[in-house]
Each structure stands twice: as C-alpha cells, then as structure tokens.
Structure 1
Amino acid sequence: MNLSKAIGTIGGLTMVSRVFGFLREMLMSRIMGASGAADAFLVAFRLPNTFRRLFGEGAFSAGFVPLFSQRLHGSGGIQDAKKFSEEVLAVFLPTLFLFTLVFELAMPLFVWAIASGYADEPAKFDFTVFLTRITFPYLLLISLVSLFSGVLNSLTKFATAAFAPALLNIAMLGALLIVPDGGARTATALAIGVTVGGFLQLALLWNSARKAGVSLRLRRPRITPGVKQFFVVVIPATLGAGVYQISQFIDTFFATRLPEGSMSYLNYSDRLNQLPLSVIGTALGTAILPQISRFIAKGDPGEAAKVQGKAVELSMLLCLPAALALGVAAVPLVSALFQGGRFTAEDAYITGNVLAIIVAGLPAYVMVKVITPGFYAREDTKTPVKTAVIVLVANVALNFALIPFFGIYGLAFVIAFCSWLNCLMLYVILSRRGHFRIEGWLWGRIARQLFAGLLMVGVLVALRYVFAGWFSGSVIERMIAVVTIVGAGVAVYFPVAWFIGAMDKEDLYLLLRRKRVQPS
C-alpha cells in the first residue's frame, strides 16, 4: 500500500466531510450568532464529540488495529480477525450501554463539573443539561462506528470511514434548515441532529464491513485471551488520550466562565484549526498505524521508521503552509466564512485573533498524530499516558495563570503551548529508544518547506494590505478577497517548494492522483 495514495484517499474524503462541516458552521453562525443558546449547544456537543475523538481517532484504534492486523496477517487470517472483533464487540456493547445510562442519570452533575460558569444562570444551565442528554447517545453510536472503522482500516479500505463524519454534518445542516429561528428550538433541533447523524454513520460502516466480508454477530460476553490482550493495550491508551480529552473539558470549564459568546469564539476558531489537523494529521495517523504494526510484527523496525519519516515529511509539507496562512489571514478568513446575520464584525475579530494564536500549535498537534503510532504499534500505550499527564498539569496551571489577565486569548495560547510540549516529549522519548529520529535529509526538507512558507507569508501580508477595504465589504467582496489570498498562497508555496527541493516529487504526484488504495 502506498502511503501517499492512502493519505490522498483518507484526506480527500475527510475534506468532503469538512466542507459539509464548514457549511454547517457558516449557517449556524448566521442563524445563532454568539448567543447563550449557541453556547449551551456547543457545550452539549463538546461532550460526545470529545469522546468521538477519544474512541474514533485515538485509544480504540490504537488498541484494536494492531491486534486485528496481527490476526489478519497471521495463520488464522480473516476468520481469526473476525472472531477477535466479535469477542471485543460482545464486551464493548454492554459496557457502552451501562456507561451511557450512568451519564444520562448523572448529567446535571457532569455539566456542572465542566460548565459551572453557567450555574449562576439556572435557565441556561438546565437547558445545557437538556441538550447534553439528547446528544450523549451519539457517544455509544460513534464508539461502535470506531470498531467497524478499525476493521475496514485494517483491511486498507479507508474510504467509507473517512467519509462517514460527513453524515453527521449533513444531519446537523438539515436541522438548521428545518428550524432556522436561531433560539432554543434551533439548539434542540441541532442536538437531535447529532444523534441522528450517529445512527447514519453506524448504518454506513456496518454495511461496508459486511460487504468487505466481516459481518459481525453478537456473542455472549466473555473475557477471552483476545479481549484481555485488547484491554491491556487499550486501557492505558484510553487513559492517555483521556487525559488529553480532560484538557478539552478544562478548556470548556474556563471558557464558560468567560463572557457570553466565548464558547462560540472557541468553537469557530477550532473549526478552522481542525481542517488541516483532520485532513492531514488524522489521515496520516490512520494510514501509517497498520503499516508500522505490520513491519514491527515482521521484526523490521527500520522500515517502520522509514514510514514515520515519510509521514513527517508529508505532514510538514502540507501543515506548515496551512498554519502560516491561517495565522496571517485569520481575521479576514473568519469574517468571510462566519460573519453575517447574528454573528457580528466584533465576533469575527475576536474569533480570528483566537484562531491566529491556536494555529501556532498546529504543526505540533499534527506531529503527535504521526509520532504516537510508533508507540501504539509496539503495544506501548503507557508512555503517551505519562506525557499526557504532564501536559494536563501544565494546561491547568497556565490557564489559571494567564486567563485572568488575557481572557480567551490566554486560553488559546495555552492550547498551542501544550501541543508543542506534548509533541517534544513524545519525540524525545521515541528518539532515545532508537525507534525513530528525524534524519539530516528530513531536517533539510523541513527547513526548505519553512523557507517556502515564509515567502508565502510575505505575499499574503502584501495582499491583506491591498484588499483591506474588501474585508469589511459585502459577503461577496470578502469571499473574493479570501479566495484570492488562498489562491496566491498556493501559487507561491508549492512552486517554490518544488523548485528548492522541499518535497518528494514522486510522492506529491501520487498524492495528487489519489488512486484507489489497493491492499498490499
């Protein structure tokens, strides 16, 4: 399986989902603005969405994919891998039902824990609890989706799992179009749309796995040797990823104590930050984990390191210009996409500044997606736990120190700083163990990519000055200005990068062709 083609498949379909996500956010910002109802929904959505990142893109895949791959490429083949999946499902499903029930009953307590800033407004607090109870079943659904995604990814069938999140965005778009009044009714419709989107994703993934020859049947729950092995790997991974997700809840805790609209500012800036993260980082992490696991199982750590090196090169080639461009054009971009209706120019200005700070940590966050498979493929999920705990402590301490003075901008800085802290610790550990280090040729590629990015920044700054009046004009004028800036950035960065040798030209050619991934 070619890494570039795999990334092209995953990244391209993830981009489709993100386009629907942007349409959803653009419509939501205009209908709901930075209002109390919007803040309440965003808190309610953050809970299951955070667990989605934990199970769908993190701990579950880290534990399931290597173990499934071992069986798939072992003597038992697909039947052994299928049996392992059924054993995990038999224990996983009742656990999820119990977990969901407990949270539904204890929802007021949990909402108070992460959004106690709303407790002084009983109506807003009660509405947030109500919405969270509607959205929470999405966690159960998306956790099952993660199991079927792991099966398909292990079979190198990436397309369906990469596209599935688009169904959530489509369901939420439908809710906004059906109930566009912008108040509590719209927020409730959005919450219902979240759970409906979960059902749609599960149906799609279940059907795709069945067509791929893995039709899972329900077994009686038993702690088999395979299940024990799975839990030995996945529990530390869950704790490690869980520590990071706790930091997300901590961000929510602080944001709910800031002035009304702060959750909206954080959400819309994070939406833009998540675009390159999901398209590049998640695609890379998903594509390389099965490959690294296979090479480790074959006793070939050198090839595993080469896979990670190639992933670092590709990630920085795409991520560095994205981070630099988002930082330079943050306010114009937010204005063009979200300003209008109930979302004012002041809202766009604050959101843009938050985005410009957060994207400083984007390269580090993408690198974490590339580095952590080096631990997970070796069934080492404890080390990321330890680093995550350190990051969590730093997160809390810095938020308490900076937010009283800098408000939401202090919160944004902490998010970026902690991304770099986590990245550097994981890389140093992996390097000292001799599993992976950035070689001289790769440092040279990254330096050239940065040079091309800085040339691009110079052009973008000049264009911001030229189009300054357009950014405060009509929606069409703002969109034309942003499209011009983005197009100019692409037109400068990639030709320069090509000319100075900042990329592997053959890999870029394959990436752009995005042929269908063939199982190896």
Structure 2
Amino acid sequence: MSLLKKFATVGGATLVSRVFGFTREMMMASALGIGPVADAFNLAFRFPNLFRRLFAEGAFNAAFIPLFARSLEEEGEAGARRFASEIFATLFVVLMGLTVVAMIFMPFLVKTIIAPGLAACIDDPETLRQQLSCEDRFGITVAFSRIMFPYLACMSLMAMVSGILNAFRRFFAAAAAPTLLNFILIGVLAYAWWTKADQQTIGFLMSWGVLAAGVGQLLMVTLAMRLAGFSVSLGRPRWTPGLKRLLILAGPAALIGGITQINLFVGQAIASYQPGAVSILTYADRPYQLPLGMVGVAIGVVLLPELARALKAGRLEEAQHTQNRSLEFALFLTVPAAVALFVMPEPIIRLIYERGAFGPDTTEKVAAVLGLYALGLPAFVLIKVFSPGYFARENTRTPMIVTGISALANTVLSFVLFWFYAERGIAAATTLAGWINAALLFEGLRRQGLWHVDGKLLRRAGLVFLSAALMGGALLVMLEALERWMGADPNVIHQSLAVLALAGVAMLIYFVLAFLTGAADRAMVLKLLRRKRAAG
C-alpha cells in the first residue's frame, strides 16, 4: 500500500467521523446555544480529552509504536506480545488509580484547573432568570466532569490497542472508532428533542453518552486486534527495561503530541471568566478540526511507523523522501482549506449552527474566532509532519523543549489578548503558538541535518500558495455576488446551495490551478487514472 493510499485510508475514516461530528455539534448548538449548560459540558469534556491526547494518543503514537515495532522485528510476535502485555497491565492500574483520585477531588480540579473563572464568578441578579447562578454552573460542571472522566481510561487503553493495529498496518478500525461517539451523542440529542428535555437534562444525557461511547470504542478496537491475530493479557504490573524506556520517551512525547489540546485547554480555562466564551471557542473549533483531523491525523498515524521502519533498516534516502512528500501532501490540502475558512467563516457558521438557541449575534462571534483559527491550520498539521522526525529516532528532548516554549507563549498571549479581544484574543494566541511550535521543530531538524528540503518540495509549495491565493481572490468575488443568498435568511436551502456552490467552485479553481502549474504531482495523478482505467 502506497504512502498516499495509507493517508487516504486514515483520512477517509477520520473525515466520516468529522462529518458526523458536525451533525452532533449542529444539534447541540440548536439545543444549548452558548448558555451555561453548553459551557459546563464543553469544559468537562475538554478535560478528559486533554489527558487522552497527552497520555494516550500523543504518548503512544510517538513512543509505543517504535518500541513495539522493534520488539516485533527483533523478538518476533511472542516478544511483541510480552512487551505489549507489560505496558497494558501498568497502564490499566495507573488509569484506574487516576480516575478514582480525579473523581474524588473533582470540585478542586474544576475550581483551580478546568474552570477557574467559575470560582471567581459573581452573580448578576438581572440575568439569573435566564441563566444559572454561579453556584449552579459550578455544580453541573463538577457533575459532568465526574461522569465523563472515566472516558479517559477507555480512550487511553484504546490508544494502545490502536498503536498495535497501526504497527501491523491495520489503520482503518482505529480511525473509524471515534465515529461511535458521534453516533451515540446524535442519538442522545434526538431523544432529548423528542422528549422535549430541558437543557440541564440534555447535558446529563450527553455526559452519560460520552462514557458509553468510550466503552464502545475500546471494545471495537479490541475486537479488531483479535481479528488481526494479536492479543494482550492483563497481569501484575512489573518494572521492566521496556516499560522504563517507554516512560522516558512517552513523557515528553505526551506533551508534544498534545500541544493543540494544551493550547485549547488553556484557552478554555481563561475563557471560563466570561460566560459563553467557552462555547464560542468550541463551536469554532469544529469546522477547523475537519481538515486538521482528516490530514493531520492521517499523517501522524501513517508517517511515524513508515519513518521508523526506514530508519531502522538504514534507508536514509527513503526516510528523507517520505518526510518531504508528507510535508508536500500537508501543504497541498491545508493551505487552501485555511484560505477558504479565513475568507468565508460567517456563511459556514450560519449554515451549520444558526437555528434554535443559536442566534445571528452568536454567528458573528463564532465566525470571527474561526477566521483566526484558520490561520493556524497549516501550522498544526506541520507539527504532525515534523514531530515523527524526532520520535522515529527516539529523540524526545528537543521537541519537548519546543513544546514548552510554545505552550508558555500560548499561555502568556492568551492572558494578555483575552482582556482586550475576549475569545478572539485566545484564538489569535492559539494560532501564533502553533506557528512558533512548527517553526522551531523544523529548524531543529534542519540544523541537525535530519531534514533536507528538496527542490521539488520548494517548487510545489510555492505553487500551492499561489494557487490558494488565486482561489481566495475568486472566493471574495463570489461572496459578494451571492451575498443575498447567504444573509441571516431562515431558508436553509438557499444557504446550503450558496455555500456548496462556493466550496465546489473554489475546489475546482484550486485543483485546476494546482494541476496546470504543477503544484500537484501530475505524474502521480495520471498514473492513478491509468490504473483505474485499466481496472475498469
């Protein structure tokens, strides 16, 4: 299977998940808007998601896969099974302990880490008739957090099993599993609409739905692992050289892999000082996560094992080629997506969310944040491209330092900009921190001689930016022509047709320009077309 086909397999499965994620967010926005229940749910859900990215996806995709691949290569399947069982036993015990402690001390965690703004909240008597009191907002945030925190344990164990599947080049099940969360929450929201449940009841039902989805996702990838002919056993945790090496690699890798989530979590914690800001940031994050997830996750999942294999076998030229083509692929898809989201955020947000409790004023706020997030989209995908260059060589020290610098910059910028620009300041800080991270990671690889940019990459990258800029200009012209179809109009059909026309024409313009100028690999496209014609 070619590198491009592997990207397409993981990216396609992730795209399906993101599409259903849009549906979920549309229904949630209509039911909850940006009120206190929406803020409480988003704050509570972000916390286990942060730890999942830090100690599960980031750590295991960056540290576990190279070590597991080495065990598989040097000791065979029996040795790999023994290594995986050692890690699974330790991870299970640690997660259970962490879950119990977190649930006990959840009020303290909410007050100091998750939502410090709720602790500093001052009730306004004029708004208490429409909104919950500060005490009630704090209480439901604690309750939602306790219900959803075990989701962390399920997702962490799932990440390890997914790492095993990825090492065996079985990418689809792990990429498709997140869709289950969206299916369950869509079902919960449909049930709440049918029963005309109040907002607090909807929040509790969604929290239980998250927990049920976590259990279902873990079962799904475990079954896929069994079908692949591999299994792990749950024994007594033991301190072994393999575990020690994993911890040395996983600690820094966890921070590096979760930089996007760290930045978003810090932003939401600061945003908790202003009612509604947390939900605005969350709703803006969903459209921006579609291309980030489809391209970034695909590259992160596929590139690391491919790069690790090439380096272990001493195929340095192949490793350089893989890195350059991955960067080329990332720019080819993310730059036009960033331009489109920056140029037309308001029509997109209006079409997706503006109904029910989500009004025109909220659309303007969310669109402004989405436009700023869009500017950082290429940076966060580039981080996914540059990080494996370190991880595949079992070097986590350098990217850990880079991540620390980026996280510090994000925190400082968020604090400063929030007081001037509210949630827009937090979005700008997240974007700036992402570019700082990507630039430092690339410079580190270049200085160590671990990445040699070839002429093909430089030429195609320049043509990608040119094609995307011309597409953006065409979008501005089309936006003005279709303005009356995309205003605050209750006719969703008109809005849908206008946005689809914009997206379709923009894609056509970009891909035609990319093909004609050579920004796309014309030889590879023609080769794929010939293969399809021959198969037909």
Shorter-chain TM-score bucket reads over 0.9
Q: Which residue in 1 is equivalent to 2:127?
A: none
Whole-Å Cα distance in 2 between the matches of residues 245 and 445 of structure 1?
Answer: 30
3-state SS in 1 of match to 2:483: coil
- The answer to whether the aligner puts 1:35 opposite 2:35 as a matched pair is yes
Q: Which residue in 2 is equivalent to 1:267?
A: 282
- The answer to whether the aligner puts 1:252 opposite 2:251 as a matched pair is no
1:505 CA drift (Å): 2.9
1:245 CA drift (Å): 4.2
What TM-score comes out, normalization by structure 1 length? 0.96
Q: 1:429 aligns with which of 431, 437, 444?
A: 444
Q: 1:199 aligns with which of 197, 215, 226?
A: 215
- The answer to whether the aligner puts 1:77 opposite 2:90 as a matched pair is no
Q: Which residue in 2 is equivalent to 1:129?
A: 142
Whole-Å Cα distance in 2 between the matches of residues 447 and 278 of structure 1?
Answer: 24
1:511 CA drift (Å): 8.2
| Maintained 8 Å contact 1:243/1:385 | no
Q: 1:155 to 1:188 in 2, by over 3 A?
A: same
Q: 1:189 aligns with which of 171, 181, 205?
A: 205
Q: Which residue in 2 is equivalent to 1:518?
A: none
Q: Which residue in 1 is equivalent to 2:99?
A: 100
Whole-Å Cα distance in 2 between the matches of residues 422 and 126 of structure 1?
Answer: 36
Q: Which residue in 2 is equivalent to 1:349?
A: 364
Q: Give unpaired runs (5+ residues) of structure 2.
A: 122-133
Q: 1:124 to 1:385 in 2, by over 3 A?
A: same
1:182 CA drift (Å): 4.9
Whole-Å Cα distance in 2 between the matches of residues 506 and 16 of structure 1?
Answer: 29
Q: 1:203 to 1:58 in 2, by over 3 A?
A: same
1:247 CA drift (Å): 3.2
3-state SS in 2 of match to 1:222: coil
Q: Which residue in 2 is equivalent to 1:157?
A: 170
Q: 1:215 aligns with which of 231, 240, 246?
A: 231
1:506 CA drift (Å): 4.6
1:9 CA drift (Å): 0.3
1:512 CA drift (Å): 9.2
TM-superposition CA deviations, 1:291-314 (whole Å, max 9, x none): 111111112232212111010011
- The answer to whether the aligner puts 1:499 opposite 2:499 as a matched pair is no
1:165 CA drift (Å): 0.3
3-state SS in 2 of match to 1:456: helix
1:57 CA drift (Å): 3.1
- The answer to whether the aligner puts 1:17 opposite 2:32 as a matched pair is no
Whole-Å Cα distance in 1 between the matches of residues 529 and 349 of structure 2?
Answer: 28
User: How many residues are matched?
Assistant: 513
| Maintained 8 Å contact 2:53/2:254 | no
3-state SS in 1 of match to 2:376: helix
Q: 1:293 to 1:48 in 2, by over 3 A?
A: same
Whole-Å Cα distance in 1 between the matches of residues 189 and 49 of structure 2?
Answer: 18
Q: 1:115 to 1:173 in 2, by over 3 A?
A: same
1:398 CA drift (Å): 1.3
Whole-Å Cα distance in 1 between the matches of residues 258 and 375 of structure 2?
Answer: 23
Whole-Å Cα distance in 2 between the matches of residues 270 and 454 of structure 1?
Answer: 23
1:94 aligned partner, one-letter code:
V
Moved more, 136-145 or 434-443: 434-443
| Maintained 8 Å contact 1:152/1:161 | yes
TM-superposition CA deviations, 1:61-104 (whole Å, max 9, x none): 11110111112222x22222111111110111101100111111
TM-superposition CA deviations, 1:332-378 (whole Å, max 9, x none): 00000111011001111110110001110110110000000000001
1:225 CA drift (Å): 1.9
| Maintained 8 Å contact 1:5/1:510 | no
1:443 CA drift (Å): 1.2
Q: Give unpaired runs (5+ residues) of structure 1.
A: 516-520
3-state SS in 1 of match to 2:355: coil
| Maintained 8 Å contact 2:10/2:171 | yes
| Maintained 8 Å contact 1:27/1:176 | yes
Whole-Å Cα distance in 1 between the matches of residues 240 and 408 of structure 2?
Answer: 37
Moved more, 122-131 or 504-513: 504-513
1:114-513 → structure 2 map (5 Å cutoff): 114-119=114-119, 120=121, 121-180=134-193, 181-241=197-257, 245-258=261-274, 260-472=275-487, 473=489, 474-508=491-525
| Maintained 8 Å contact 2:118/2:138 | yes
Let me know the Cα RMSD of the aligned residues.
Answer: 1.7
| Maintained 8 Å contact 2:54/2:255 | no
| Maintained 8 Å contact 1:57/1:282 | no
